[in-house]
Amino acid sequence: MTDIAFFYAFAALTVLGAILTVTLRNAIHCAIALIASLAGIAGLYLLQKAEFLFVVQIMLYIGGVMVLFLFVIMLVNLDGAAKERQYHRHWIAAVASLIGTGAIFATFLHRGAGSLKLESPLPVVPGAGNVETLSMVLFREYLVPFEVASLLLLVAVVGGVIMAKKRID
């Protein structure tokens, strides 16, 4: 019972935050709404017993990426942009994607939740915690991608600094 309540609470937070993110005029308000949405997603991770991702979501997304966004909003003067027209003239593509996804939704809701033909979920295996299992898989099977990811982050750090520097000598 609590499962249902928590799922719908987090889902409502996520979807409302997302809608406000794409509709609000002021970029800082958009960022705040996105923080709410990301927090809702973090709660959904916790509901699915992905504790490590829950912590990563809060620390990295809400604590890291969103602070970066707010810094950039501060550096870049957006007051003029907030007074301008907010939406593109090329709205046909967006309407087409809305209609397409809406059709998929309508079919899905019409046929009911059982129509996806997923196999029934496997029972939860009691045992080691989420972080332990995750680290075992991450550092054994996915060690090379892990190292490549660190290289990617290094390149991104250097690239970001060079791009944002005042003058390149």
- Residue 59 has what DSSP assignment? I
Among 27, 36, 39, 62, binds other proteins (CB under 8 A): 27
Residue 42 contacts residue 17 (beta carbons within 8 Å): no
Q: Which is nearer to other proteins, 3 or 169 (CB)?
A: 3
Tell me the closest approach of the beta carbon of residue 126 to other proteins, in angstroms.
11
* Residue ranges in 80-119 that form contacts with other proteins under rule CB under 8 A: 81, 84-91, 93-94, 97-98, 101, 104-105, 108, 113, 116, 118
- Per CB under 8 A, 56 contacts other proteins: yes
- Per CB under 8 A, 36 contacts other proteins: no
CA distance 40 to 35: 9
- Per CB under 8 A, 30 contacts other proteins: yes
CA distance 26 to 36: 16
CA distance 88 to 85: 8
Phi, psi of 141 (to 5 degrees): -80, -30
- Per CB under 8 A, 13 contacts other proteins: no
- Per CB under 8 A, 63 contacts other proteins: no
- Per CB under 8 A, 74 contacts other proteins: no
Among 9, 103, 106, 152, binds other proteins (CB under 8 A): 152
Tell me the closest approach of the beta carbon of residue 10 to other proteins, in angstroms.
9
Question: Residue 128: CB partners within 8 Å, gap ≥ 6?
Answer: 136
- Per CB under 8 A, 67 contacts other proteins: no
User: Which residue type is seen at 103?
Assistant: A
Tell me the closest approach of the beta carbon of residue 150 to other proteins, in angstroms.
9
- Per CB under 8 A, 153 contacts other proteins: yes
- Per CB under 8 A, 144 contacts other proteins: no
How many other CB atoms are found less than 10 A from the CB of residue 17? 20
How many other CB atoms are found less than 10 A from the CB of residue 6? 14
How many other CB atoms are found less than 10 A from the CB of residue 140? 8
